[in-house]
């Protein structure tokens, strides 16, 4: 997803207002924290999705996958796909968080 010039302007305006309010020392620091906050929100969302499925099936993803082999219903296959997707998205967001936290995020 690419940001349009207006999206960048909005984010910069918000960051500047946070600096003026003395919440952050610089626009860059404010933007960094805004990005980290959004990534944390995404990670929490995918953790909740995973926990919901773990509770529903009283198993982790690997155990659920093993149970499904050769006898999955369409509904369970749908849950398996959603679960796999949530695991992958969580992993991707965790990697992004680590990169942002260490200052290695690429443009």
Is the Cβ–Cβ distance between 16 and 31 less than 8 Å? Answer: no
pLDDT over 90 (residue 61): yes
More confident residue, 44 or 4: 44
> What is the predicted pLDDT for the residue at 6?
86
For the entire predicted model, the pTM comes to 0.82
> What is the predicted pLDDT for the residue at 7?
86
Q: Once rounded to an integer, what is the mean pLDDT over residues 16-42?
A: 94
Rounded-to-10 torsion of CA 50, 55, 57, 59: 70
């Amino acid at each position: 997803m690419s940001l349009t010039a207006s999206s960048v302007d909005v984010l910069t305006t918000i960051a500047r207002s946070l600096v003026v309010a003395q919440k952050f020392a610089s626009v860059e620091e404010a933007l960094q924290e805004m990005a980290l906050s959004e990534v944390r929100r995404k990670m929490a969302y995918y953790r909740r999705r995973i926990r919901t499925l773990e509770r529903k099936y009283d198993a982790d993803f690997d155990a659920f996958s093993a149970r499904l082999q050769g006898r999955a219903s369409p509904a369970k296959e749908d849950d398996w796909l959603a679960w796999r997707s949530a695991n992958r998205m969580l992993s991707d967001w965790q990697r992004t968080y680590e990169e942002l936290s260490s200052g290695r995020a690429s443009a």
